[in-house]
Amino acid sequence: NAGVMQNPRHLVRRRGQEARLRCSPMKGHSHVYWYRQLPEEGLKFMVYLQKENIIDESGMPKERFSAEFPKEGPSILRIQQVVRGDSAAYFCASSQEHSNQPQHFGDGTRLSIL
Amino acid sequence: GIQVEQSPPDLILQEGANSTLRCNFSDSVNNLQWFHQNPWGQLINLFYIPSGTKQNGRLSATTVATERYSLLYISSSQTTDSGVYFCAVEQAGTASKLTFGTGTRLQVTL
């Protein structure tokens, strides 16, 4: 029973490039969440998605960041024109229902911007 | 939004010692989870505990929802317990996002 799968584990980009982070939820889970962890800080919520719908994107920066969870395939977090401040660990979580259920986390993607 | 405070911020223990970590939150919650982030950055699910008490080996947790706090007990600590412990809550009436505390950094020495 595979857990939440994130890839790549590590991603290096130069300033101005695009970063695409992928997340496959646990089997049977239709709710996906993205969180960002800056160095030496706790995790901060970015966006909550269900299949083909963005439910809550209140934690997502207004520019350069977007997320999707298509009908088929993994959820994607896309960062355009990356800047040094985007360097962080990005975690994906999934749950079976939208509330009153534990969220299960992947191992994260460490994004480094040169 | 809901505030989540953890204490102590840092803790150094000798192997074999016991400890209690605390998480206070400022509003009613639907969900409370404890996580251990190991030195490699992986986030390990310890407990899903919106209320009551649970035990798993040397770890146990208690949440008193009416008083808005949760406690994580670590007994007979081992060096592999080192890392950062996070409490995360889902505020009642919100759409599922978890709000994380700032964590307790634990170092277990020989």
Cβ atoms A32, A69 nearer than 8 A: yes
Integer Cα distance of A6 and B98 in angstroms: 19
Partner residue opposite B96 with nearest CB, options A44, A48, A105: A48
Average pLDDT of span A72-84: 96
Which residues on A lie below 8 Å from B98 (Cβ)? Answer: 33, 35, 43, 45, 93, 103
DSSP result, A53-102? EEEE-TTS-SSSEEEE--SSS-EEEEE-S--GGG-EEEEEEEESSSSSS-
Those residues whose C-beta lies under 8 Å from the C-beta of residue A27, and which sit 6 or more positions away, are: A1, A2
| Cis amide bond preceding B9, omega within 30 | no
Q: Residue A101's pLDDT is what?
A: 82
Name the pLDDT band for A14 (thresholds 50, 70, 90).
very high
Name the pLDDT band for A41 (thresholds 50, 70, 90).
confident
Q: Residue A98's pLDDT is what?
A: 67
Average pLDDT of span A21-38: 95
Which residues on B lie below 8 Å from A105 (Cβ)? Answer: 35, 43, 45
Answer whether B10 touches A (CB < 8 Å): no
Average pLDDT of span A59-67: 95
Partner residue opposite A102 with nearest CB, options B33, B43, B100: B33
Answer whether B98 touches A (CB < 8 Å): yes
Distance of CA B30 to the CA centre of its chain: 16
Q: Residue B82's pLDDT is what?
A: 96
Integer Cα distance of B32 and B38 in angstroms: 20
Cβ atoms B4, B50 nearer than 8 A: no
A95–B96 CB contact, under 8 Å: yes
Cβ atoms A12, A114 nearer than 8 A: yes
Greater model confidence, A41 or A69 = A69
The residue of B96, B102, B104, B105 whose CB has the most chain A CBs within 10 angstroms, and thus the best one to mutate to test that interface, is B96
The per-residue pLDDT for range B29-77, each reduced to its tens digit, is 989 999 999 999 999 999 999 999 999 999 999 999 999 999 999 999 9
Q: Residue A1's pLDDT is what?
A: 52
User: Which tokens sit at A3?
Assistant: 């857990």
Residues forming beta bridges with residue B89, ordered by sequence position: B32, B99
Name the pLDDT band for A2 (thresholds 50, 70, 90).
confident
Work out the percent of chain B whose per-residue pLDDT is above 70: 99
Mean of the per-residue pLDDT values of chain B: 95
Kindly identify which residue of chain A lies nearest to residue B105, measuring between CA atoms.
A40
| Cis amide bond preceding A74, omega within 30 | no
